[in-house]
Amino acid sequence: MDVFGKPVRRWVIMSVLVPVVAAGLSLVGRFLQRRLGHPTRTSRFLLWGSRVLGRKQADAAADASTVQREVR
């Protein structure tokens, strides 16, 4: 039985899970770069993934604020 529904699940994912995953990717990518002393293909990919997730989260926040303004 789904107590909360899809909108709440989507909100939790976009507001909690996505930023945590993005921060984790960023930390690992920067750690690899510091440890090896130069950017690698893997570290660049991890940092790219972090930026993409950050943009997705920002887009979702902008969509939510637009919906909130339309409701008022």
For residue 22, tell me if it sits in a domain.
yes
Tell me the CA end-to-end span of the chain in Å, nearest whole number.
Answer: 31
Look up the domain containing 21 and give its range. 6-71
Count how many domains the chain has: 1
- Give the model's pLDDT for residue 45: 96
User: What pLDDT band is residue 70 in, cutting at 50, 70 and 90?
Assistant: low
For residue 1, tell me if it sits in a domain.
no
Whether the pLDDT of residue 68 is over 60: the answer is no
Entry pTM: 0.69
Distance CA 55, CA 22 (A): 10
Distance CA 50, CA 54 (A): 6
